[in-house]
Amino acid sequence: MELYLFWTIAQRELREALRNKWLWFYAVGFGALAFALAQAGMASAGYAGLGGFGRTAASLINALLLFVPLIGLTVGAGVIAGERERGTLMYLLAQPVNRAEVFFGKALGAALAVLAALALGFGLAGIGLASAGGGEPSTYLALGGFATLLALASLGLGFVISVLTRKSATASGAALILWLALVFLGDLSLIGATMAFRPPPSAMLTLLLLNPLQVFKLGAIYSLRATLDTLGAAGQYAQLQFGAMLTWVLVGLLLVWIVAAFGLAFALFNQKRNAA
């Protein structure tokens, strides 16, 4: 893999992704909501429960669970499918570049665009916290780190969808369906399984960890130095089993999701029948 070609493709994809109006629509929407939550959370400091920053961060977690996967999935879904639909993918692969340079260059460019959108949202939230006179930088950075890992995992899943589809509209629809499944059906299925089968805490924890959004939620809540009791028996079981290593276990699981998603997408892309 030639680094010059790899970086050239990444720059091109970054420019294309930054032109995506939906990326900035979601980013500005998340940023505005995060700023409002920061202002409201700090204004309510002193009430029962978490302090001002804790209340803000807890609210931000719910916002991140909605916006971060949506940004990653929609950006990733349009990368390969959009090029294929326009006919430019075949032209690009006909150049003296290999498929790894094309795929990972596009992945890097899309990842940089997604991280730019996240930075905008977290920047606005940080401004809201600073103007309200509150915040814990280390905890806020930990929350941002978990959000970054979730965004990259979602981007990888979006790439899988993009490789498997031939039209950008189809890819976008599939990304929205997967987003709904991860965000809403994931929680509903856990609730249904708990009520119907009453599984032990170990089984519930396994079901939680199969969903990257739930892994993010566990890590984000734990980074607040709050108890996992809010997640029921599964959260308590996780804290009991892993103790102080829980954060690193959850980070490792999100990294596995990232590697697995991009690895599967590249394996599919590398097949001739899916390459163009």
pLDDT average, residue stretch 80-89: 89
Structural domain boundaries enclosing 29: 3-275
| Candidate from 6-20, 24-38, 159-173 with smallest mean pLDDT | 24-38
In the chain, what percentage of residues exceed pLDDT 70?
79
Say which residues have a Cβ less than 8 Å from residue 76's Cβ, sequence separation at least 6: 110, 154, 155, 156, 157, 158, 159, 161, 162, 175
Q: How far apart are CA 254 and CA 14, in angstroms?
A: 23
Place of tokens 């163009």: 276
pLDDT interval class at 233 (50, 70, 90): low
Cβ atoms within 10 A of the Cβ of 257, count? 23
User: How many domains, the chain?
Assistant: 1
Say which residues have a Cβ less than 8 Å from residue 206's Cβ, sequence separation at least 6: none
pLDDT interval class at 145 (50, 70, 90): very high
Where would I find the H helices in the chain? 3-18, 21-43, 52-86, 88-93, 99-132, 137-164, 168-180, 186-197, 201-209, 212-223, 232-242, 246-269, 272-275
Tell me the pTM. Answer: 0.88
